Amino acid sequence: MPKKKLQELSQTHGKLEDTQYKTLDQIWGDDGSSRYKTSNLQDYLNYLSELNKSDLQDHAKKIGLIPIDNRETLTKRLEAEFRKYMSMFKLPKNSENLVNLDKKSKDVLSEGK
């Protein structure tokens, strides 16, 4: 069997190229539901409403927030943290193509390369 030239070879990796990943967990298939047990905001808010104050504060500690005494403020902070965390999993693939720059601007931005 004759050897193939390098230009004739092709390789595939099987990875879907529709999203841009920021963490190793995302590459390994995490969709964001591992940290909060859901990726749906309404389900998460329902979960928070079912917790008593002590459990809500414990949940805030697990997430990495400082638990405060005001339940409403703590719930809003947890919701904001959930939204911020879930936004990492919804990045467009080619975000640099969204902005059209003229040649002079592109030259200035590429000077650091």
Q: Give the Cα separation of 69 and 15 in Å (integer).
A: 45
Helix residue ranges, H only, the chain = 24-27, 33-36, 41-50, 53-63, 71-87, 103-109
Q: Is residue 62 situated within a structural domain?
A: yes
pLDDT digits (tens, 9 = 90+) for 17-76: 666 667 777 778 777 778 888 989 999 999 999 999 999 999 999 999 999 999 999 999
Split into its structural domains, the chain has a count of 1
**Measured CA distances, 94 to 18, 35, 59, 89 (Å):** 9, 26, 35, 14
Q: Is residue 72 situated within a structural domain?
A: yes
Q: Is residue 104 situated within a structural domain?
A: no
Q: What is the pLDDT of residue 91?
A: 62
Q: Is residue 25 situated within a structural domain?
A: no
Q: Is residue 65 situated within a structural domain?
A: yes
Q: What is the pLDDT of residue 59?
A: 95
Q: Is residue 82 situated within a structural domain?
A: yes
Query: Which domain covers residue 53, as residue numbers?
Result: 38-93
Q: Give the Cα separation of 37 and 59 in Å (integer).
A: 12
Cβ atoms of 39 and 32 closer than 8 Å: yes
Q: Is residue 73 situated within a structural domain?
A: yes
Q: Is residue 66 situated within a structural domain?
A: yes
pLDDT digits (tens, 9 = 90+) for 21-31: 677 777 787 77
